[in-house]
Amino acid sequence: MATNDRLTIAGHEFRSRLWVGTGKYKDFEETKKAIEASGADVVTVAVRRVNITDRSKENLLDYIDPKKYTILPNTAGCYTVEDAVRYARLARAAGVSDLVKLEVLGDERTLFPDTAGLIEAAKILIKEGFIVLPYTNDDPIVAKKLVDIGCPAVMPLAAPIGSGLGIRNPYNLKIIMETVKVPIIVDAGVGTASDAALAMEYGADAVLMNTAIAGAQDPIMMAEAMKYAVDAGRLAYKAGRIPRKLYATASSPIEGML
């Protein structure tokens, strides 16, 4: 990708438009290799209790150097405003920045966001100086509200987390991209490379995924595929696609024919 095509969010500059999660890998070695193959420079992590009975376990950050990658902690697993705020504060205390990927989930089966709770939690955290990147529904009105209260980017889902269904509501995503004047990171639901390319062609500023890579039969190869997909989609978006027409237009001239 062109080195000048950087994504900037609240003063943080990102080289890669593919962001990746670090969950569900076989081991840390595979996590590291997949992230390297993806070219991502933003990686999401969760915040959990340290295992105090088995200290032989290695630490994720021994494999993913926080000097090389932007570590983006999430509040995954939180179903209430209180829990999400608590985990965000813990993440800040454990980490190095004010960035948080805010999730307030509404339902265990779909893992869809509780958007009312999301807005409430975002307000609290923004007041405390957090840079809140909210995981939200593909709802243009909620996306606008999140921006109005001070979120410097929004992260609408393509489909339920881990579902691999691809972009279920491209028209809503397009409306969000047209109406919201902050970076849009399509988050969750990507199944394969074409889903990621499509999100970027629609005009997403970045794509975040985890399961699509970690759950593939060859995660490292899929990570590489996603890198090309995101780059190709971005270039196609910037290049400007041709309009769709119902009938053919010949590419070879008629002149000079016998």
Partner 1 sequence: MSNGIQIHVNGEARGWRSGGTVADLLQELAIRNERVAVELNLEILDRKDFDQRGLKDGDRVEILSFIGGGC
- Concatenate the DSSP letters of all residues of 111-151 into one string: --B-HHHHHHHHHHHHHTT-EEEEEE-S-HHHHHHHHHTT-
Phi, psi of 78 (to 5 degrees): -95, 130
Task: Indicate which residues carry an active-site annotation.
Answer: 101
3-state secondary structure of 13: strand
- The DSSP output letter for 63 is T
Residue number with CB closer to partner 1 (65 or 218): 65
Residue number with CB closer to partner 1 (133 or 142): 133
3-state secondary structure of 22: coil
The footprint of partner 1 (CB under 8 A) covers 20-25, 28, 31, 44-50, 52-53, 55, 59-61, 66, 71, 73-74, 76, 89-91, 93-95, 103, 111, 135, 161-162, 187-188, 208-211, 214
Residue number with CB closer to partner 1 (142 or 208): 208
Which amino acid makes up residue 22? T
Q: Return the structure tokens found at 200.
A: 């970027």
Least distance in Å: CB of 225 to partner 1?
17
Is the Cα torsion angle 95, 83, 10, 171 positive or negative in sign? positive
Distances in Å between the Cα of 123 and the Cα atoms of 62, 84, 118, 154 are: 33, 12, 9, 14
Q: Return the structure tokens found at 6.
A: 């950087």
Give yes or no for a contact between 122 and 115, defined as CB atoms under 8 angstroms apart: no
Least distance in Å: CB of 195 to partner 1?
14
Helices 170-179 & 140-148 angle (0-180, nearest 10): 30
Least distance in Å: CB of 43 to partner 1?
9
Provide the Cα torsion 14, 72, 135, 208; round to 10°. Answer: 50
